[in-house]
Amino acid sequence: MNVPGEASRNRVVWDHNSARAFAARSSLAVDPTATLRAQQVADRVRDESGSRDCRLAHTHASDMWAYYGRSWGENVGCYPGCADAARRVTKEFLASPEHRDNVLSTTYSAFGVGVACNDRYLFVAVQFVA
The dihedral formed by the CA atoms of 81, 22, 41 and 45, expressed in degrees to the nearest 10? -30
pLDDT of residue 60: 60
Query: In this model, does residue 103 exceed pLDDT 50?
Result: yes
CA distance 66 to 61: 9
118 residue type, one letter: N
Query: In this model, does residue 7 exceed pLDDT 80?
Result: yes
Q: What is the pTM of this model?
A: 0.88
Most confident of 24-38, 45-59, 116-130: 24-38
Percent of the chain predicted with pLDDT > 90: 54
**Which helix (H) or strand (E) segment is 72 a member of?**
strand 72-80
pLDDT of residue 1: 46
Between 118 and 56, residue with greater pLDDT: 118
Query: In this model, does residue 53 exceed pLDDT 90?
Result: no
Q: How do residues 66-86 score in pLDDT, each as one tens digit? A: 666 678 889 998 888 877 788
